[in-house]
Structure 1
Amino acid sequence: MDNFNARYEKELAYQEITSNKYTLYGILLFIGVELLIWILNIIGFFELDNQIMSAVIGSSIVLFIPIILIMVKGDLSKPAYKYIAMTQICIITGTIITFLSYHAILLYVLPLLFAGHYRKRSVLWYTYVLSVLMLFVSSILNYYYGIMDTNLLIAGTHQRKWYLDLIANGGSFTYNAHPVFIILIFACIPRSMILLVFTFMIQYIVTASLHDAARIAQLTYLKETDSLTRLFNKNKYNEMVSMYYPNVDNITVIFWDLNNLKIINDTYGHEYGDKALSALASVLYAHSDEQCRRVYRFGGDEFVMIIDNPHDGEADRIISAIKDELVKCSYDISIEISSAVGVAFGNGSDIIEIVKNADSAMYADKQLYHHR
C-alpha cells in the first residue's frame, strides 16, 4: 500500500493548505462582522461605548495583520501555521470578551469551531487550553476595563422580577466584597466546563470524520488501483476518459507494452513475470504526477501514461529516461526487461482516438522489436 500512503500524505498536505485558507477567510469574515457592528453602533443602532468599540476593532485588526501576512506570503502547508492562527484567534476573541463580556459570550466557542475543521485532536485541545486561559484573563480584565456581568458583581442569583421589585420599593444592591474570587469561581469555571463539553463534542465529530475519510479514501483507492502494480486500473481510466480528459486542451498518450511477458512466464515462472510487470510499473510510477501525468494499467502487460498539456519534448524525455531505468531493473532481477512504446497526441476531446493511435504506434514498435 505504498502508493496509497503516498497519495494519502499528499491529500493530507492539500487539506492542510485548504484548512489554513479557510481560517484566513474566516478571519476576514470575522473582521467584517466587527466592522458592521461598529458602524451600526456609530449610527445609533446599538448603544455601546464608541471608545470601547473602537478599541475592539483596532485591536482585532492589529492582532490579525500578522497571521494574514503569514498566510498570504508564506507556505500554507507548514504545520506551525495552524497553531499560530489558533493562538491569534484565541487572543483576539479574549480581547473582545474583555471589553464586551456578555455581549460577546458566544465568542468563547468560536476558536473551537476554527480548530475543528483542521481534523486534528492536538490542534483542538491546544485551542481549548488556550481558550480557557484567555477566559480567565479576559474575565478579570473585564472587571476593571469592560462592560461587567452585573449579576456576578452584586452577588445576585435572582430573576428579572426580583430586581424590578427591589428598584420599585427603593431598595439597593450590595456590591460583593471579593469580586475577583466570584468571577473566577462562578463565571470562569462554569464556562470552562461548558467549553470542555463543546471540545469533547467537536473531538467526536473530528474523529468520526477522520475515520470516515480514511475508510472512503481506502475504498476509493482499492476501487481505482491495480492490486499488483499499484497503478490506476481500467476503472479509473474509464472514469477519467469519460469525465476528465475531454475537458483538457492538449494531451499526449504514451502506450507501453512489456516485451516477452509470455516467454518470461514460461521460462522463469509467473513470479518473475509479476516482477517484470512490477518493475516496469514502478519506473512508470516514478515518472508520474497525479495532477497532470497519470499512469494506468490498461491490460495484462499494457500501460498507458496520459500527460495533460505537456511541455515540448516532455514525452521524448520520459521515454528515454524510462528505457534507461528498465536496463538497470534488468540487472536487479536478472532478466531482460524492455517495453514497446507508442506515442500520440491531440485535443482531450479526442482521447479515445488518441489512445488508439498510441496503441497502433506501440504495436508497430513491437513488430520492429521482434524483427531485430
Structure 2
Amino acid sequence: MSSPLSRRSFLQRGTLAVAAGIAAPTILKANPYRRQSEAAMIGHNGYKYRVVPGWGVLDAGKNPVNDCHEMVQDAKGRIILLTNETKNNIIIYDKSGKLLETWGHEYPGAHGLTLGGEGSDQYLLITDTDRHQVIKTDLKGRELMKFDYPKETGKYDFPTQFKPTETAINPANGDIYIVDGYGMNYVTQYDKAGKIIRSWGGKGNSNDTFDCCHGIVVDRRTASNPTLLITDRRHNALKRFSLDGKYLSTIALPGSYICRPVIHGDNIYGAVFRSTSDSYPDSGYITILDKNDKVISTPGGTEPVYQDGKLTEQRKDMDNSPFLHPHDVLVDGDESVYVAQWASKKTYPIKLERVG
C-alpha cells in the first residue's frame, strides 16, 4: 500500500514549510501514516486518548507479525495477540508491552480470537480462514477441539465454503456462536460439546441476513435479556438478535466497516478499518457507543454528529489519526484501549491511554 502523498507532493510541502519557517512536526501532521509518537490526543466527549509510544514493539527478526487481527486479556491480566504470522501466531504481553511468551505455527489464516472459561480453566477459540476451521486451545496452545464446516446444516456443499471470521461464547451455558463472514455468511450455534443447535442468516440485504457477518459478541449488559450483536460490515451496521437467532434491531453506523463489537462496561467498542470509500487514506479509527447504542466518541475519526436522530457518515480524521487499518480493540481495567491492525505494514499493536 503506497502513501497517499507522492514523493513530489511531499517535497513541495516540505519546501513551502521551510520557506514559511514552520517546524518539522507540522509537516508530519499532514501525513495520516505518521508514527504513533507523533499523534495528538484523539477522541471526543470524555473518551479521549493519547498513544503510548512504542508499546509492544518487538524484534521483528525474532518475533514478527503480519496481520495483527485480534487481542484478548486473560484472568492473569496478560494480553494475548493473534497474528497470521506462523513463526508465532500467538504473542503474549504484559500490560507494559513486555513479551512474556509466544506459541503457534499452525494457523496461516489466524483471524478471530475469543477467550472463554474462568480462572485456570480459560481457553481460546481461534478462527482460521485458510484452514476453514475454528480451533479450541488451552492458553499454552494445546488443541482441545476443532469445528469443521457445518455440513449437518445443509447450507454448505464443501468445506472451503466455510471461512469463519469470529466466535462468541455464552458464559451462561457454554454455547458457542460462529460467524462465517468470509464464506456463506451464516451464524451457527453449537452447545459446549460442539453439537450444532441451529444456523441462520446467509448473504443478503434483508434484516436477518448479512453482507459480511464479520464479528459477533454476546451482549450481557442487560442481565435479564442477553442478546447477540453481529456485524453486518458492508452494510455499515451492527444487528441485534436473540440468543436463538431472531432478528431484533439494527444499529446503523454510516461510513464504518466495523470489524467486531467489543463490550466493556456500559459501552460498545469497535475497530473500523475503512469507510465506505475504497480509498485506503479513509481507513482507520475506533468507534465507541454508549448503553443507548449512540456513538459518543470516534478516536482517530471525525466527531460523531446526529441529525434528526440519525448518525451522519463518519470518516477518518486525516490530520489526527495514528491508525492504518484497525481490526480489533481490547479495553483493560484502566480504560486503556489496545488496537490490533490489519494490512498495516506488519506493525505491532497500538496502546491508547485514556486521558481524564
TM-score, normalised by the number of residues in structure 2: 0.23
Higher helix share: 1
User: With CA pairs under 8 Å and 6+ residues apart, which has the higher RCO, 1 or 2?
Assistant: 2
Larger Rg: 1
Normalising by the residue count of structure 1, what TM-score does the alignment of the two structures yield? 0.22
